[in-house]
Amino acid sequence: MSLTGRLVMASLLPVMLLAATGCATTKSGKTASTTTQVARIELTGTSGAQTTGFYIRDGRRVDLDGMLPVTIAEPGVSQLAVRKTNKMDNLVVSTKSPSGFSSTNSPPGDAQGIRLDLERGGGMSVIPPEESLSRPHNSLIVIAPYWHEGTWVFEDAKVGLRQEPFVAGVPEMIDCLVKDIPSARQGFRLTCSASPFPGFQKKLLWVRAESGGNHYRLEEPPMEGWLCPAMFRYFAETPKELYVRADPKGE
């Protein structure tokens, strides 16, 4: 059975579905806050097989470019993304935490990677072959949010995101950014950077980390929102400042 099939059939399915979005919410709209302190992560399989990927520890990306086996036993690890360089190798990801033990593998012939979300109870999900795990280097990030089922979402196939929702105060920030853009809910262009760029509209200041993501504050008007762990698909470490601008799609 393929890696996808085994993951779908696993008993951790409810947790995995939350992890797949990266920005799970409760019915109240608040971010889920079930933090799991993982004692040990094991990457095993074909001895000496080359792997690539990263894990996030205390808001900073740590690159994984080495040979199996690999053990990660550090505090503050919130997520892991890994794949084997040669698809004919076997890759096994196992984690043991206070909430239990889980394990899955990418068998020989399977080019998919494995994502482990430690902030969602150790849920695992598939990383498709086309999703890059390389260290992000873009100084400017451009996405195209739109309104879907009661919140702002966006797509970015390059980093494996589909209908990724903004939650916990960020939709209200976006409403502020797009107030002068007609038909913004049909889609607009959002530019973001960790450094100032010409024409930026608002500056967000880092407040604190929580549930694998980070809270940011907008000073005018005063607002606070939470950006989920998916931000680390764009940044190698937590930005202390974020500069943003919203424009109509066609401009």
> Domain spans of the chain?
3-127, 141-248
> What letter would DSSP give residue 31?
B
Find the range with the poorest average confidence among 25-34, 152-161, 206-215, 223-232. 25-34
Mean pLDDT value across residues 178-182: 93
Strand stretches in the chain, DSSP E: 40-45, 50-57, 60-67, 70-72, 77-84, 91-97, 100-106, 113-117, 123-127, 141-143, 146-148, 151-156, 161-165, 188-193, 202-210, 213-218, 223-227, 241-248
Site of tokens 């608040």: 30
Residue type (1 letter), 12:
L
Kindly report, residue by residue over 185-221, the tens digit of the pLDDT.
999 999 999 999 999 999 999 999 887 789 999 988 8
Asked if residues 191 and 245 have their Cβ atoms less than 8 Å apart, the reply is yes
Alpha-helix runs per DSSP H in the chain? 3-9, 13-21, 170-177
Mean pLDDT value across residues 243-250: 91
Closest CA to 168 of 224, 220, 124: 224
Residue type (1 letter), 92:
V
| Cα 82 to Cα 141: distance, rounded to the nearest angstrom | 23
Kindly report, residue by residue over 98-157, the tens digit of the pLDDT.
777 889 999 999 999 999 988 766 688 899 888 888 887 778 999 999 999 999 999 998
The predicted pLDDT at position 3 comes to 53
| Cα 101 to Cα 183: distance, rounded to the nearest angstrom | 48
Which residues are 64's β-sheet partners?
Answer: 53
18 has a pLDDT exceeding 50: no
| Cα 233 to Cα 31: distance, rounded to the nearest angstrom | 19
Q: Which residues fall within 8 angstroms of residue 94, CB to CB, at 6 or more apart?
A: 41, 42, 44, 101, 102, 103
Give the per-residue SS3 of 107-147: CCCCCCEEEEEHHHCCEEEEECCCCCCCCCCCCCEEECCEE
The predicted pLDDT at position 213 comes to 84
Q: Which residues fall within 8 angstroms of residue 93, CB to CB, at 6 or more apart?
A: 41, 42, 43, 80, 82, 103, 104, 105, 114, 116, 124
Find the range with the poorest average confidence among 16-30, 155-169, 178-192, 198-212. 16-30
| Cα 56 to Cα 80: distance, rounded to the nearest angstrom | 7
β-strand pairing of 241-248 with 202-210 = antiparallel
Kindly report, residue by residue over 61-105, the tens digit of the pLDDT.
888 988 999 999 988 888 899 999 999 999 999 998 777 788 999
The predicted pLDDT at position 39 comes to 60
